[in-house]
Amino acid sequence: MSTICIVGGSGYVGLAYAVGLAELGHDVVGLDVAADRVAALNRGDSPLHEPGLTELLVRNLEAGRVRFTTDYAAAVPGASFVFLCVGTPSLSNGEADMRQVRSAAASIGEHLVPNETAIVVNKSTMPIGSADLVTQIVAEHAAAGASFHVVTNPEFLREGSAIADIFQPDRIVLGADDRTAAEAVADLYAPLGAPVLITDRRSAEMVKYAANAFLATKISFINEVAGVCERLGADVTTVAEGMGLDPRIGSRFLEAGLGFGGSCFPKDVGALAHMADAAGLHPGLLRAVLEINADTRRRFVGRAETLLGGLDGRTVAIWGLAFKQDTDDLRESPSLGIIAMLHERGATVRAHDPVAMPKAAPLLPGVELCPDPYAAATGADAVLLVTPWREYIGIDLQRVAEAMRGDVLLDGRNILDPADVAAAGLRHAGVGRGMSPNQLSIRRGVEQTRH
């Protein structure tokens, strides 16, 4: 069993790995600069919502296999592996912001111990060439005689199923200059039985960006098709089913909705486009993927406007604030942009989310956060379903209809049965499910008024 330091150990990826590697029997220290979250974690309180995480945290704290600290001197010396899991958010031009990586790499270097060899595992999603950058920064700060390797090990877990994904990965990708170092990291994952791809560091870095960009492209593709379906009277859910039966296409990531959000797809597509641009290329497809993503939200708000005959003075209920179900993460969540557009057009917004409301409150001034979806729907002219939480699927639509002032239910994730919605006396609209000729002519009227 190995001694492992996880830098960024209270973040979504770092914390999941800290408890996951402890569960595999390793001796783990989660290191993070966020002192409040570190203190909470040492008490067994998870600062973020992730199914199964708290159980693993408590069990491994009690077993003494994991602990958390803000002190590099208490975490790096003696660690055989140092996992770099800090954030790489977007700058305004799409470029990855590497400040957390640079700072963490410097601190790791300062705390390496002479005559010991550590393997720094780059798990954060970092631009192509970052393993070289991390190597250089660590080397600049390391004492004479300290030895280290940098192995790129991109992460593919999904928030909402992070723990399951850690224990059942599809693949382990390792990029290294030194085969022995890559194999040492591969040994950590050996109990999971996943296929291992060992390659050079730049290719490993690129695998992550290319995989996310491909999935985002699939989502934007079906959302563009959804827009056409909506205007021409086809149903995108049936179209996707018909497409997905072709094994060359597959049915996954062909769900029309409100586009991709979260901390990865938008920033990784943007960062890849930026890298391509900087290399003198023209990343037209990647730019279109981002543009279509923004468009899905504008179209959704436009449809609400059409169905309500205008948004000014209307009350709109939002169901779901997190960027997807089973997480409290609001980064790049469609709900934020949609609520901003509703406010700009004069609507009053009430909202509900089963877990994300404490994190949403400071981001959404002027939005009344409600204890349940029925309370949010009370007095609303329209309900907009934004996040596909399970509890919205089983909702009592009759009770919703009775609580509302109006009768519009706009399902941004196509998870409700239109017949059930209609049976409750509500007007249903989904994404990519054709508008009636009447709605189309109203929509054209709204657009002409704007131009």
Active site residues: 264
Helix (H, G, I), strand (E, B) or coil at 31: strand
What span, in angstroms and rounded, lies between the C-alpha atoms of 6 and 54?
Answer: 18
Q: Which of 103, 203, 378, 439 lies at the binding interface for ligand NAD (CB under 6 A)?
A: 103
Size of site (CB under 6 A) for ligand NAD: 25
320 is a site residue for ligand NAD (CB under 6 A) = no
The alpha carbon dihedral of 392, 394, 397, 398 has a sign of negative
What span, in angstroms and rounded, lies between the C-alpha atoms of 163 and 19?
Answer: 9
What is the side-by-side order of every strand in the sheet holding 3-7?
Answer: 66-69, 27-31, 3-7, 81-84, 117-122, 147-152, 172-175, 196-199
Range in contact with ligand NAD (rule: CB under 6 A) among 6-14, 223-231, 288-296, 366-374: 6-14
Q: Which two tokens stand for residue 84?
A: 């770099």
**Which residue's CB is nearer to ligand NAD, number 101 or number 435?**
101
Range in contact with ligand NAD (rule: CB under 6 A) among 28-36, 113-121, 342-350, 388-396: 28-36
What span, in angstroms and rounded, lies between the C-alpha atoms of 302 and 227?
Answer: 12
Binding mask 257-296 for ligand NAD (x = CB under 6 A): ------xx--------------------------------
Q: Which of 87, 127, 320, 412 lies at the binding interface for ligand NAD (CB under 6 A)?
A: 87
**Which residue's CB is nearer to ligand NAD, number 33 or number 375?**
33
**Which residue's CB is nearer to ligand NAD, number 72 or number 300?**
72
Q: If we measure between CA atoms, which residue out of 390, 409, 431, 416 comes closest to residue 256?
A: 431
Q: Which of 11, 169, 257, 418 lies at the binding interface for ligand NAD (CB under 6 A)?
A: 11
What span, in angstroms and rounded, lies between the C-alpha atoms of 343 and 345?
Answer: 5
124 is a site residue for ligand NAD (CB under 6 A) = yes
**Which residue's CB is nearer to ligand NAD, number 265 or number 300?**
265
Residues 6+ apart with CB under 8 A from 392: 319, 320, 373, 385, 415, 416
Q: Which of 60, 90, 125, 333 lies at the binding interface for ligand NAD (CB under 6 A)?
A: 125
**Which residue's CB is nearer to ligand NAD, number 49 or number 314?**
49
Q: Give min distance, CB of 211 to ligand NAD, in A.
A: 10
Q: What residues numbered 132-161 form the site for ligand NAD, per CB under 6 A?
A: 155, 157, 159
**Which residue's CB is nearer to ligand NAD, number 169 or number 373?**
169
Q: Give min distance, CB of 31 to ligand NAD, in A.
A: 6
Q: Give min distance, CB of 423 to ligand NAD, in A.
A: 38
What span, in angstroms and rounded, lies between the C-alpha atoms of 295 and 285?
Answer: 15
12 is a site residue for ligand NAD (CB under 6 A) = yes
Residues 6+ apart with CB under 8 A from 224: 292
Q: Give min distance, CB of 451 to ligand NAD, in A.
A: 39
**Which residue's CB is nearer to ligand NAD, number 326 or number 353?**
326
Helix (H, G, I), strand (E, B) or coil at 3: strand
Q: Which of 46, 60, 69, 88 lies at the binding interface for ligand NAD (CB under 6 A)?
A: 88
Q: Are 331 and 368 in contact (CB under 8 A)?
A: no
Task: Return the residue nearest ligand NAD (CB atom).
Answer: 11
Torsion of CA 287, 290, 291, 294, to 10 degrees: -170
237 is a site residue for ligand NAD (CB under 6 A) = no
Long-range contacts of 284-293 (CB under 8 A, 24+ apart): 285/217, 286/213, 288/220, 289/213, 289/216, 289/217, 289/220, 290/220, 290/266, 292/220, 292/223, 292/224, 292/259, 293/216, 293/219, 293/220, 293/223, 293/259, 293/260, 293/266
Helix (H, G, I), strand (E, B) or coil at 391: helix
DSSP string, 399-411: HHHHH-SS-EEEE
127 is a site residue for ligand NAD (CB under 6 A) = no
104 is a site residue for ligand NAD (CB under 6 A) = yes
7 is a site residue for ligand NAD (CB under 6 A) = yes
Give the binding site for ligand NAD (CB under 6 A): 7-8, 10-14, 31-34, 85-88, 100, 103-104, 124-125, 155, 157, 159, 263-264
